Structure 1
């Protein structure tokens, strides 16, 4: 009889949910299981459109993973950080500065944008094709599970959301799905990120901001909810609001690629990471993400065939003839982060850089 015993992984003990009183964003909750029927998709399309227009962030529930499966994935996510020596990590460092690829490690103490305080976060990025790159020895027995996790995110979460977005733009359901093929060349990947507590001096210098306000450069970001409160979004009114932890839920948002493709109809929401509340400040914060990009060869220009965009008008970030491909935009954003010189923008507390002829803003 074959054995179905999963490889042993130490349990990652997360912080208890905060008891602090915080100002939370009131995000919509999308029950993705309803997308299995035509009636359900019709209702969800309206819910999703409102969620994207009001906040650009929303929760997804009933996504097909049990609480036990989710807990197991967080245990796996900690392995690249806790079960791999610093020396071995050096063998798997990403080449993002040279090639624009973030696969592998971005290590603790990597310089932040200001250069004044070093980032207290470490990342390990795994392409959805886990065989594309070598991995630390401790991850080898876990790669099949990570591969299945990637497929689950892609087919059971990403594709249903893309179909709903296409419907909301009155386009054929598979319009965006066809731009996000699982087997196509793209940088869509699973990413594990671990934040470590900072010193009081570092918090003072950075005004308690761990990651400046920004938009993601891909199309859809899927964050598996975890209990340490640190993620904030900027509302349409310019106020910062916390994202509440919801057990076994996903936090989903759109990024630059969807902004380009939707002609500015669905804008990427500005979000940042800040120091957690007092009762969580001595804990690490472990994140599990699925960052999706369109296929590398997709040109990021408005889908002008959308009747919705024809009615509301199109806001282009650049001329169509100058629109970058997903590959060009992703690599340029990745290579610039932390290395390019930022200039003060017209808005207070906003710094800007020009990437591929497009203004990219960073919010303090």
Structure 2
């Protein structure tokens, strides 16, 4: 019998007229056949070339199961006292690892304003670290949730990405071992409303435009509008909420491995529309990374890459491993001093000799 938990009440969807990105919807029921996967791989390839995000439906979790995960996701923020949170605070800057709490006021946003975001990160191996007392009765559920995301969502997606490159279906699956040494993790994240003074100083930006550092990010759609993507025409557009859908994007590691074929998606978080500003924004993620030892170099045997050309961010000999890249990105994010970028509207930092851009 499932452990009882307080129900998390989500905000009503906004009624404001927002300019939404036009994202395709991938129906996982089509993954059951080879022909279906080939069709979907073409749609995913086009989506990643044109927009960079897409939705997944029929991913194996019912609406009730998803609602239950959001109920559990709120526990680290509402049922753990500040003193106990400190005991499980992560040391991202020192370790380059996302495990435990990312407490508020850790990331610098702009003009002396720090974030009002709290996150709790759980390695897919939930036994790797100790967890707050209130969360412990739910660890078996979270382990099952991680397995579901890894085997029933991530692996089918990785097969679609491989087919898009005309590679064997399990090319990317083989470097995302569930039992391998890796930092693939679940993240629960809660954004709290900010003061008007902070909104003015940051231009309403809660998290600057950035790319994720892994291969694939799974975000469980929730109704508070705040996520935007940078469209190819240079405009920021909102992501529309779809009940029980996943919002999918790729990150730096996929760009390295695909020789620039799949570019990391630039996205940011801004102040929600007026009718949702008094609601906290709770998010549930699964961040996928290759095994730590994987060297981030292109799969040059890809016929698609051989036709289109390979875009490398560095020479293969200088390419980082996944461990090196995620430690560099994690330890620097929101804490390093950013320089004015060479591209208008950007700021830059250098990680392992490679330029990483942030977008205003």
Question: Which band: TM-score by shorter chain?
Answer: over 0.9
Q: Pick from 166, 170, 188: which aligns with 2:166? A: 170
Alpha-carbon contact 1:300-1:323 (below 8 Å) kept: yes
Alpha-carbon contact 1:113-1:339 (below 8 Å) kept: no
Partner of residue 24, structure 1:
20
Alpha-carbon contact 1:100-1:334 (below 8 Å) kept: yes
User: Is it true that 1:125 corresponds to 2:87 in the alignment?
Assistant: no
Q: TM-score scaled to structure 2, two decimals?
A: 0.99
How far apart are residue 40 of structure 1 and its match?
1.0
How far apart are residue 253 of structure 1 and its match?
0.2
Partner of residue 144, structure 2:
148
User: Is it true that 1:100 corresponds to 2:96 in the alignment?
Assistant: yes
User: Is it true that 1:179 corresponds to 2:159 in the alignment?
Assistant: no
- Relative distance call for 1:163 and 1:127 in structure 2 (3 A) is same
Partner of residue 81, structure 1:
77
User: Is it true that 1:328 corresponds to 2:328 in the alignment?
Assistant: no
2:268 aligned counterpart, secondary structure: strand
User: Is it true that 1:72 corresponds to 2:63 in the alignment?
Assistant: no
User: Is it true that 1:256 corresponds to 2:213 in the alignment?
Assistant: no
Partner of residue 246, structure 1:
242
Partner of residue 265, structure 2:
269
Q: Pick from 209, 215, 222: which aligns with 1:226? A: 222
Q: Deviations over 1:53-101 (max 9, x none)?
A: 1111000000010000000000000000000000000000002111101
Between 1:114-123 and 1:209-218, the stretch displaced more is 114-123
Q: Pick from 268, 271, 287: which aligns with 1:291? A: 287
User: Is it true that 1:160 corresponds to 2:156 in the alignment?
Assistant: yes
CA distance in 2: counterparts of 1:113 and 1:284, whole angstroms: 18
Aligned-residue CA RMSD (Å): 0.8
Q: TM-score scaled to structure 1, two decimals?
A: 0.98
Partner of residue 361, structure 1:
357
Q: Deviations over 1:114-164 (max 9, x none)?
A: 461120100000000000000000011000000000000000110001001
User: Is it true that 1:53 corresponds to 2:73 in the alignment?
Assistant: no
Partner of residue 312, structure 2:
316
CA distance in 2: counterparts of 1:255 and 1:204, whole angstroms: 30
CA distance in 2: counterparts of 1:113 and 1:210, whole angstroms: 7
User: Is it true that 1:8 corresponds to 2:12 in the alignment?
Assistant: no
Alpha-carbon contact 1:254-1:267 (below 8 Å) kept: yes
Between 1:111-120 and 1:179-188, the stretch displaced more is 111-120
Alpha-carbon contact 1:226-1:286 (below 8 Å) kept: yes
CA distance in 2: counterparts of 1:164 and 1:111, whole angstroms: 34
Q: Pick from 255, 266, 278: which aligns with 1:282? A: 278
User: Is it true that 1:38 corresponds to 2:26 in the alignment?
Assistant: no
CA distance in 1: counterparts of 2:39 and 2:107, whole angstroms: 45
Alpha-carbon contact 2:111-2:202 (below 8 Å) kept: no
Q: Unpaired runs of 5+ in structure 2?
A: none
How far apart are residue 38 of structure 1 and its match?
1.3
How far apart are residue 113 of structure 1 and its match?
4.4
The aligned length equals 360
CA distance in 1: counterparts of 2:29 and 2:88, whole angstroms: 38
